[in-house]
Amino acid sequence: MSYQERGILVSMLIFFLIFQFCTCIDTITLSRPLKDGDILVSKGETFALGFFSPGNSSNRYVGIWYNKVSEQTVVWVANRDSPITNSSGILSVDETGNLVLHEKDQSFVFWSTNVSGVANDVFSAQLLDLGNLVLFQGEVYSWQSFDHPSNTLVSGMKFGLDRKTGLNRVFTSWKSSVNPGVGVYSLKMEFVGSTQSFLYKGMKKIWRIGSWTRHGCSGIHEMNTNYLFNVTYINNNDEVGIIYLVRTLSIFSRLVVSDFGIIERMTWNEADHKWVAFWSAPKDPCDGYNRCGPFGLCDPHALGTFECVCLPGYEPQSPQGWYLRDGSKGCKRKVGTQMCQVGDGFVELAHVKVPDTSTARVNMSLGLKACVELGLRNCTCMGYASADLSKGAEGGGCITWHGDMIDTRTFSDGAQFFYVRVDAAELGRDPPAPLTSLPAEKGLAVGHGRRRIRP
């Protein structure tokens, strides 16, 4: 081999070494920070981390995106509300064990993980193949991006509360497509009554995802396990929430809180090089939180008429408002209703997203039969339902409502049974009285063979 040939061979070897080396870097260490222009790529090459500018913006942000998706799709952003205006940004691990985003030779910190460090430990930050950026103090992790979501839920991420640390993961929209700053829409899980999730606009609830149970969610059946992904509900001493997993790693699927206040589940279609919206919500007027007021019931199939009706035994609080198709005042007990162990009982409604459980009582150790008895005995009980949908009429767990029942709606199928307290007159009617609705052309909206439950 000539000297020249050997030279070529050596440089090729070096080239391959460097090439190999470059694609394999998934870790930031004290001695190896990340400059603007550098990229970390996770081991399986599914995700990349680096600096980016959204759309036509010239601001620089640190983000994580799908490495194999040709249209840059950012799933997490570090410095959401403090953009860097030039390319002098550096992401490094400092001596206190924090990830810090700063400018070259400048002390100004744009963003930091802000965890308390342990002195004299080995610190590093690694981008894992699920798209999680994890900060390690030695072998122990002290921070991870999955716990501080932006607007996107990717496969493997948890949505819910870490009971040990009190950390509740909230997803927040971007301000706009060119500004990843914290926007007005947020998706949050709440734990009063039974576990529910809400989409907020600012402080205002605009959509409620019904109760989560280990078998899915009563508010949207599309969120339940299917052939592409599964959703597991976790509720133990350490945590409560869901974990969402795609069944095959080659499927890229994400749930996004969009800057328009819509939750979308998008799946990458490699053949057409585009994201396909699989599902989105809120979908119809009945998804609007508290659309029909207290004791109202929203029926999206009331085509051409007003979607608000009253629960059985109730009538519109404001017939005038109802006539003008404003359901916000809701409904009140019909005049002359006799209640409290005077022959009153419950009627069953099918395919219902049960009322907001924030003010309800939940007892997971009661079956549906005990639940009925509890309801009949207690005069303040306005309605009840099983807390575990999968068990249907047999029920597992008991939810009872003792005050206003709001945000109740029907679906054409799925969802669950809901039982509303009515007086003897309402119970005795055969066939059951039509649900109250004005204008009066509306008939029986959810009467799918209403069962009457008498004492």
Ligand X SMILES: *[C@@H]1O[C@H](CO)[C@@H](O)[C@H](O)[C@H]1NC(C)=O
Task: Tell me which stretch binds ligand X (CB under 6 A): 138-146, 214-222, 320-328, 363-371.
Answer: 363-371
165 counts as binding ligand X under rule CB under 6 A = no
**What is the closest distance, in whole angstroms, from the C-beta atom of residue 62 to ligand X in the complex?**
15
**What is the closest distance, in whole angstroms, from the C-beta atom of residue 423 to ligand X in the complex?**
18
User: For residues 231 and 223, is the Cβ–Cβ distance under 8 A?
Assistant: yes
Residue with tokens 């249209």: 71
Residue with tokens 């005069």: 379
Among residues 11 and 86, whose Cβ is nearest to ligand X? 86
Among residues 298 and 405, whose Cβ is nearest to ligand X? 405
User: For residues 75 and 254, is the Cβ–Cβ distance under 8 A?
Assistant: yes
Task: Tell me which stretch binds ligand X (CB under 6 A): 136-144, 279-287, 316-324, 359-367.
Answer: 359-367
Among residues 76 and 143, whose Cβ is nearest to ligand X? 143
Q: Which of 163, 205, 329, 361 touches ligand X (CB under 6 A)?
A: 361
88 counts as binding ligand X under rule CB under 6 A = yes
**What is the closest distance, in whole angstroms, from the C-beta atom of residue 242 to ligand X in the complex?**
11
**What is the closest distance, in whole angstroms, from the C-beta atom of residue 291 to ligand X in the complex?**
26
Give the span between the Cα atoms of 442 and 302, in whole angstroms: 8
Report the Cα 434 to chain-centroid distance in Å: 36
Task: Tell me which stretch binds ligand X (CB under 6 A): 26-34, 42-50, 183-191, 357-365.
Answer: 357-365
- Tokens for 451? 């069962």
378 counts as binding ligand X under rule CB under 6 A = yes
Residue type for 354, please? V
Task: Tell me which stretch binds ligand X (CB under 6 A): 84-92, 213-221, 253-261, 324-332.
Answer: 84-92
Per-position x/- string for 176-205, each x denoting binding to ligand X as judged by CB under 6 A, each - no binding: --x---------------------------
Among residues 176 and 337, whose Cβ is nearest to ligand X? 176
Q: How big is the CA angle at 356 (ends 354 and 360), to the nearest 5 degrees?
A: 95
Give the span between the Cα atoms of 322 and 340, in whole angstroms: 29
Give the span between the Cα atoms of 308 and 84, in whole angstroms: 50
Task: Tell me which stretch binds ligand X (CB under 6 A): 66-74, 82-90, 422-430, 440-448.
Answer: 82-90
175 counts as binding ligand X under rule CB under 6 A = no
Nearest to 409 by CA among 319, 290, 327: 290
**What is the closest distance, in whole angstroms, from the C-beta atom of residue 113 to ligand X in the complex?**
9
86 burial type by CB count under 10 A (0-12 exposed, 13-18 middle, 19+ buried): exposed
Task: Tell me which stretch binds ligand X (CB under 6 A): 42-50, 340-348, 362-370, 429-437.
Answer: 362-370
**What is the closest distance, in whole angstroms, from the C-beta atom of residue 44 to ligand X in the complex?**
15
Q: What is the DSSP annotation of 212-259?
A: EETTEESS-GGGS--SSEEEEEEESSSEEEEEEEESSTT--EEEEE-T
User: For residues 43 and 139, is the Cβ–Cβ distance under 8 A?
Assistant: no
Nearest to 410 by CA among 210, 222, 262: 210
Residue type for 399, please? I
363 counts as binding ligand X under rule CB under 6 A = yes
341 counts as binding ligand X under rule CB under 6 A = no
Q: Which of 32, 380, 392, 393 touches ligand X (CB under 6 A)?
A: 380
94-153 residues in contact with ligand X (CB under 6 A) are 103, 112, 114
Beta-ladder partners of 187: 171, 199
Among residues 4 and 116, whose Cβ is nearest to ligand X? 116
232 counts as binding ligand X under rule CB under 6 A = yes
- Print the SS3 string covering 118-139: CCCCCEEEEECCCCCEEEEECC
- Tokens for 421? 């307290």
- Tokens for 48? 């990349």
56 counts as binding ligand X under rule CB under 6 A = yes
Task: Tell me which stretch binds ligand X (CB under 6 A): 81-89, 184-192, 302-310, 439-447.
Answer: 81-89
List of residues contacting ligand X (CB under 6 A): 55-56, 85-86, 88, 103, 112, 114, 178, 230, 232, 245, 247, 361, 363, 365-366, 378, 380, 402
